[in-house]
Amino acid sequence: MRAPHRWRRPAVTVAATLTALTLGTGIASAGQDGWGRPTPGSDGGGDSYYPQDGNGGYDVSDYDLKVTYAPDSHQLTGLQTVYARATQSLSSFNLDLKGLTVDSVKVNGLPAKFSRTGDHELVITPRFPLLRGLPFRAEIAYHGIPQAIEDPNLGANGWQYAKSGGAFVAGEPKSATTWYPVNDTPLDKARFHLAITVPDEWGVISNGREKGTYKTAAGTTHVWSEDTPAVPYMTTVAIDKWTFDKRQRADGTPIVSAFAPGTPDSTKQADARLPEILDFLESKFGKYPVDAAGGIYLAEPIGFSLETLSRPIYSGRAGNVSTIVHENAHQWYGDTVAVDHWKDVCLNECFASYATWLWSQAKDGQDLDARYLKTVAAASDQFWAGKLYDMGPGNEFTYVYSKGPVMLHALSKYLGQAAFDQVLKTWNGLHHNGNASMQEFQHYCEAVGHKDLQGFFDAWIYGNGKPAPEYLYPGDLKPANG
């Protein structure tokens, strides 16, 4: 687990402190004092599928983003303030930003040099090196017309335009780079604060808690604050002529849902069950781990719905109970516990998909053993060949939805129901606000169940063939002819 670091926002005196350190002692002396010689931070986060996404050399604690957006021209003007801590002594560091024009950069209040390389790299060279272990602040002013990233399987990702004239952000594994500078890796979660100004007639919804609005010369500024650390692709904003529904859970957690014009009543009725859905998921996975809840219901039928933190975003006509269960299960599996690497994505999608099985059992009386046996009996060779781990870039969002929940039901039988239920309910607490790998999940299951699971994981997860009978029909599961 890589739990996020906690520290206060750096004060404005940091720049003066760093100036004194670097000018008074010199870089060589800094090395003798244990800071190390400043070198460039890496231009990638190290993921085997997307090696250039994210960057090394620092940890972000907080993004404080101020944006003005004009729906008529699609022009976005932003000022991003990044609060971070250097994990090595840095002569330069990178952020990820796709397509938009950078106007100026400051680091610790002083103008910094910057350049653009590759598809999305923003290289920042501060006036003075950043010393390992010390906090720093970077301010990036930028502007432009955001453009989505085209994915061959999922379609547009990131900043997208609504037919109403509004806009919204949704995409995985990347989307944030299309509208603000960011360290775009699941390994660097951060708090996300947004103040966005739009013309008065437009409404805005984002992650976390609504902190109010105020009038400006350019329109109305809407302030949102997400204090649960978020992976960048889990951040969002949506601008439209929304109808809002504002409620609270029994424990006071605010629920804010936004419906685009033309949203059918069936979708609003499904969203009305959100408190019931969260209570159910809490009974299975432990205490709700996020500081707010709700949903963003689009008119556009995009290629997916997405578990944006605290407030999932739903493709038009996908606002049904099953999808709402799936996306909110991600608040535990995928959001507050994120993947170490994208090859571990079953830890997100397999569990969110299985949550819909558990819901159908509890609310509709479905026999999950019968569902499992029927699925296994009808499974094709292609189904069994689908991989649940290290499936390759571009193949992450395939068999995790179909084979994934089948695997988890088999695991519940092989591990034992009591141990499996304990794993589901305690995994989030073990890795809360951090990251995890499939191997860590295997070892935790083994520790809870006091059982060697290597054979099961090889058969179902690490391999890609039909499991042997002992893993295909564990416990009281029996083949139809058996």
pLDDT of residue 31: 47
Q: Is residue 17 pLDDT above 50, yes or no?
A: no
Reported as a single tens digit per residue, the pLDDT across 62-110 is 999 999 999 999 999 999 999 999 999 999 999 999 999 999 999 999 9
Helix, strand, or coil here: 257? strand
Binning pLDDT at 50, 70 and 90, where does residue 11 land?
very low
Q: Which two tokens stand for residue 245?
A: 């529904």
pLDDT of residue 154: 76
Reported as a single tens digit per residue, the pLDDT across 224-269 is 999 999 999 999 999 999 999 999 999 999 999 999 999 999 999 9
Integer Cα distance of 387 and 390 in angstroms? 7
Q: In the chain, what are the domains?
A: 1-230 (2.60.40.1730), 242-335 (1.10.390.10), 339-472 (1.10.390.10)
Integer Cα distance of 35 and 397 in angstroms? 42
pLDDT of residue 8: 33
pLDDT of residue 30: 45
Integer Cα distance of 259 and 166 in angstroms? 13
pLDDT of residue 12: 39
pLDDT of residue 152: 81
pLDDT of residue 317: 81
Q: What percent of the chain has pLDDT over 90?
A: 89
- Which amino acid makes up residue 130? L
355-358 CB contacts, 8 Å cutoff, 24+ apart: 355/281, 355/284, 355/285, 355/325, 355/326, 355/329, 356/322, 356/325, 356/326, 356/329, 356/405, 357/405, 357/409, 358/284
Reported as a single tens digit per residue, the pLDDT across 280-289 is 999 999 999 9
Helix, strand, or coil here: 270? helix
Reported as a single tens digit per residue, the pLDDT across 165-213 is 999 999 999 999 999 999 999 999 999 999 999 999 999 999 999 999 9
Reported as a single tens digit per residue, the pLDDT across 323-355 is 999 999 999 999 999 999 999 999 999 999 999
Average pLDDT over residues 406-419: 98
Helix, strand, or coil here: 101? strand
Q: What percent of the chain has pLDDT over 70?
A: 93
pLDDT of residue 230: 98
- Which amino acid makes up residue 102? V
Reported as a single tens digit per residue, the pLDDT across 114-162 is 999 999 999 999 999 999 999 999 999 999 999 999 888 778 999 999 9
Integer Cα distance of 420 and 409 in angstroms? 10
Average pLDDT over residues 30-54: 85
pLDDT of residue 2: 29
Q: Is residue 15 pLDDT above 70, yes or no?
A: no
Q: Is residue 375 pLDDT above 50, yes or no?
A: yes
- Separation of first and last alpha carbons in the chain: 43
Q: Which of 315, 351, 305, 320 is nearest to 172 (CA)?
A: 305
Integer Cα distance of 259 and 266 in angstroms? 12
CA atoms within 13 A on the CB side of 301: 2
Extract the runs of DSSP E, i.e. beta strands, from 281-394: 293-297, 313-314, 337-339
pLDDT of residue 482: 54
